[in-house]
Structure formats: structure tokens, C-alpha cells
């Protein structure tokens, strides 16, 4: 409220995100709302809904009081469906929070922009929370991003929402849950972790019907292929190959380019020659990881983990893949682990693990140096290809998930000429 009270109609663009944290567990509504509802789980849930509605109303009232309503877009939305434990809030759809079914991901969205969006407007098309950022940037004077983002204000003015597929995923190298909403929104294919495929007919926008996926094998195959193509394109980290004073380095996309959270892989083609010194560097990101050759061995160090293997043969192109997974889950300590593996031409040559991995805190913006260290020394003798960085851990063929296509062979065989 203090922030809104300090705004004036002529201010430069500003953005405020406000999370009421209601309705949510623990179900502890304020007394004045609890008094109007039964003292039951459902009653407490409904009291929290009323509380959230009142808080949103205070925001809208303050905008009116400050004379900001004509120049402020208000979006009220939820990040997921309800748990459906205390109250069947997701009906008529099945599923709940953390599930990729309509009950878990289809949520209402309300917009208010006095003088710009007519009251009572209903948009029938499917929009995504990914569309918020592009719309807001454009309203603030920025450029609309290329791609399939939807201008949600234009949609409220009657511009048709384009048909496009939407994807959801919650995955690591051993568990995988994903879903796809087909173009047009009439079909949803969901795979809950490593279970069966669930196919939903959504041709009636206000109901869903679970159908036998085996009777629609062609459709399931098409949607599965579309999901795989989407994730393969998304997992490759876009970086820039830069040069400064003859030093080659990778920059950009700092948090995905750097290892240290969940899955990460680095792959490069290497054709080594006889070393000029005692040690040379294939790649290094200071404070994070390094790949060095010395004494006939290739040594990989990543934070507090280290492995080594016999150095690749001289004069021959070898595809080297570094694969890493790290997590420190406070809510599920049993999942806490660090894994590091080194592959040559798709075959594992060294691996290690730890139950208590060291997690990086800062320094993600440091460049990834290629063929030398951060100071320009220990130059690699030989040829290096252009590296590929993926934001997931690649695994051996036997452990690969067919849906994820996360086997190391998905990059092996494509790097050497």
C-alpha cells in the first residue's frame, strides 16, 4: 500500500507483483473472516478465499484513490490449481496442484484496466502465464518478443488468440512428468512421472473426458514427438562465443551456462596434440569447474568433485561430454546429491558422487574459457570444436529415458567432423 501511495499518474512505468499467499496451507484465516464461515477445513478455506478477495480489493481501491486506475493494468491470477483437499475448487476438472491435468494447470485470470478493457469481456482463447511478461514489457514501451507469445490486452480487445501448443514438464534424470496441450486446446496428453500416457478430450471447453490413448495412437505419437522436439530445442543453452586479446570464451545465459543446480552437461570435440608444457586447459570457469590435461590424464574438477581418466589419444577427434547433477533439497533430504561423470564418444570413462554437494553462491557471470585458463595461460595444444551446453544431465544409454532423449548419444556423434 505504501508503494502504491507513493505513485503518481505521470510516473515512469512501474511493476508490482503481490502474492497474498491465500488460499494456502496452513488454513489460518484472520478472525474477522473466520467468523463468517464454519469452523471446518472447507469453511477455513473459504474464509481465506474471502480474505484474498478483500486484499485484491484494497489494491484496486488504492489505485482509484491515487488516480492510477486509468493507467494501470491489474492482473489477478494463480500459479496453479488448488489442492482440492478442503474444497472441490477445481471442478469440473480432475487433478490438483502439482499435477499436469486441467485441475492442476487451468486457472482463472482476471484483468482490470479502466478505460481500456471493457468490463465483462470474456476471452475464450488459451493464454499462458508466459504471456504476462511480454505484454507488460510492450505496454511499458519495450519490444514484443519474437515467437508465440500472446498480447493478452489485444486478446481482450477481440484479437484472436493464435492456436499454439503449450508444454509443461517436471523432470530430472530419474523422474519425468510432462504434459502437452495441443494446438486449438482440444487435446491434452499427460504422462505422470514414469507411468502411462493419459489422453484427455477437451473439445468441450468446460469438461474433460479421459479416452483410451491406444485408440488414438497416431495422435499420441504426434504429440509425443512435438514434446520431444520442444524440450530438445529448449535444453540447449544459448551462449555467445567471444574473444578478447586472443582468449576465447563463452558468455551469456550465466545461470544456465554455469553448473551447480539440477542437471548440466558440456560437450566438445577435442583433437589433442603433444603438450607444450606440463599442463594445458581444455575449458575452465574459474571457481566452478575445469577440464585439464597433464601427465597423460584428463582431470575434471567441478566444485568439490573430481574425476580423471586417461587423456584422449593424440591426433584423433574425441567427443568429450561432462555430465553433472546437483541438488540440495531441504524438504526432501534423501534427494540431496551431487553426480559427476565424464564420457568419451558416448562411453563413460570416470564418475563420482557425493551426498552433500557444495552449491555455488555467486560468480555465475564468470566466462567459460576455452583452450586456456582465466589468465590466458596453459594454452591447449590441439584443436577444439564449438562446445554445446545443455541444462540437463546426460546419462548412459541404459539409463536414458525415451521421452526425455537424455542419453549421452543425443550429442555424441554430432561434434566431430
Q: What is the pLDDT of residue 331?
A: 67
Q: What is the pLDDT of residues 158-187, one digit of tens each?
A: 999 888 999 999 877 667 899 999 998 999
Q: Where does the pLDDT of residue 119 fall: very low under 50, low under 70, confident under 90, or very high at 90 and above?
A: very high
Q: What is the pLDDT of residues 124-134, one digit of tens each?
A: 888 998 898 88
Q: What is the pLDDT of residue 187?
A: 96
Report the mean per-residue pLDDT for the chain.
91
Q: What is the pLDDT of residues 67-116, one digit of tens each?
A: 999 999 999 999 898 888 888 888 899 888 888 999 999 998 999 999 99
Q: What is the pTM of this model?
A: 0.85
Residue 281: which of 270, 292, 269 has the closest Cα? 292
Q: What is the pLDDT of residues 238-286, one digit of tens each?
A: 999 998 878 899 999 999 999 988 899 999 999 999 999 999 999 999 9
Q: What is the pLDDT of residue 148?
A: 66
Q: What is the pLDDT of residue 297?
A: 98
Q: What is the pLDDT of residue 269?
A: 97
Contacts by 198-203, CB closer than 8 A, 24 or more apart: 198/101, 200/101, 200/102, 202/102
Report, as an integer, the average pLDDT of 350-377: 92
Whose cell is 479502466? That residue is: 114
Amino acid at each position: 500500500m505504501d508503494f502504491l501511495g507513493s505513485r503518481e499518474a505521470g510516473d515512469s512505468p512501474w511493476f508490482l507483483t503481490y502474492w497474498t499467499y491465500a488460499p494456502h496451507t496452513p488454513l489460518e484465516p484472520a478472525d474477522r473472516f473466520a467468523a463468517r464461515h464454519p469452523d471446518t477445513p472447507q469453511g477455513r478455506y473459504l474464509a481465506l478465499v474471502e480474505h484474498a478477495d478483500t486484499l485484491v480489493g484494497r489494491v484496486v481501491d488504492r489505485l482509484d484513490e491515487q488516480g492510477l486506475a486509468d493507467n494501470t493494468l491489474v492482473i489477478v491470477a494463480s500459479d496453479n490449481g488448488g489442492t482440492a483437499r478442503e474444497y472441490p475448487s477445481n471442478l469440473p476438472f480432475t487433478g490438483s496442484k502439482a499435477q499436469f491435468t486441467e485441475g492442476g494447470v487451468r486457472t482463472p485470470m482476471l484483468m482490470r484496466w479502466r478505460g481500456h478493457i471493457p468490463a465483462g469481456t470474456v476471452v475464450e482463447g488459451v493464454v499462458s502465464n508466459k504471456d504476462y511478461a511480454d505484454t507488460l514489457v510492450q505496454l511499458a514501451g519495450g519490444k514484443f518478443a519474437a515467437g508465440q507469445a500472446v498480447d493478452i490486452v489485444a486478446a481482450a480487445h477481440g484479437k484472436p488468440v493464435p492456436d499454439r501448443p503449450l508444454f509443461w514438464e517436471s523432470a530430472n534424470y530419474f523422474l519425468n512428468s510432462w504434459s502437452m496441450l495441443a494446438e486449438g486446446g482440444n487435446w491434452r496428453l499427460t504422462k505422470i512421472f514414469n507411468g502411462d500416457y493419459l489422453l484427455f478430450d477437451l473439445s468441450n471447453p468446460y469438461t474433460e473426458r479421459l479416452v483410451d490413448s491406444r485408440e488414438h495412437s497416431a495422435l499420441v505419437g504426434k504429440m509425443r514427438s512435438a514434446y520431444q522436439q520442444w524440450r530438445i530445442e529448449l535444453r540447449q543453452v544459448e551462449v555467445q562465443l567471444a574473444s578478447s586479446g586472443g582468449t576465447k570464451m563463452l558468455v551469456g545465459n550465466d545461470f544456465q551456462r554455469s553448473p551447480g543446480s539440477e542437471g548440466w552437461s558440456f560437450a566438445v570435440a577435442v583433437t589433442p596434440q603433444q603438450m607444450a608444457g606440463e599442463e594445458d586447459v581444455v575449458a575452465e570457469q574459474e571457481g566452478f569447474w575445469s577440464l585439464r590435461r597433464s601427465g597423460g590424464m584428463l582431470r575434471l574438477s567441478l566444485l568439490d568433485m573430481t574425476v580423471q581418466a586417461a587423456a584422449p589419444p593424440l591426433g584423433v577427434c574425441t567427443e568429450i561430454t561432462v555430465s553433472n547433477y546437483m541438488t540440495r533439497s531441504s524438504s526432501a533430504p534423501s534427494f540431496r546429491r551431487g553426480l559427476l561423470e565424464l564420457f568419451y564418444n558416448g562411453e563413460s570413462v570416470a564418475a563420482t558422487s557425493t551426498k552433500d554437494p557444495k552449491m555455488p553462491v555467486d560468480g555465475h557471470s564468470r566466462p567459460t574459457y576455452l583452450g586456456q585458463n582465466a589468465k590466458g595461460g596453459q594454452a591447449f595444444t590441439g584443436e577444439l570444436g564449438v562446445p554445446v551446453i545443455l541444462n540437463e544431465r546426460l546419462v548412459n544409454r541404459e539409463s536414458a529415458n525415451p521421452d526425455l532423449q537424455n542419453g549421452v548419444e543425443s550429442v555424441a556423434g554430432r561434434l566431430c567432423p
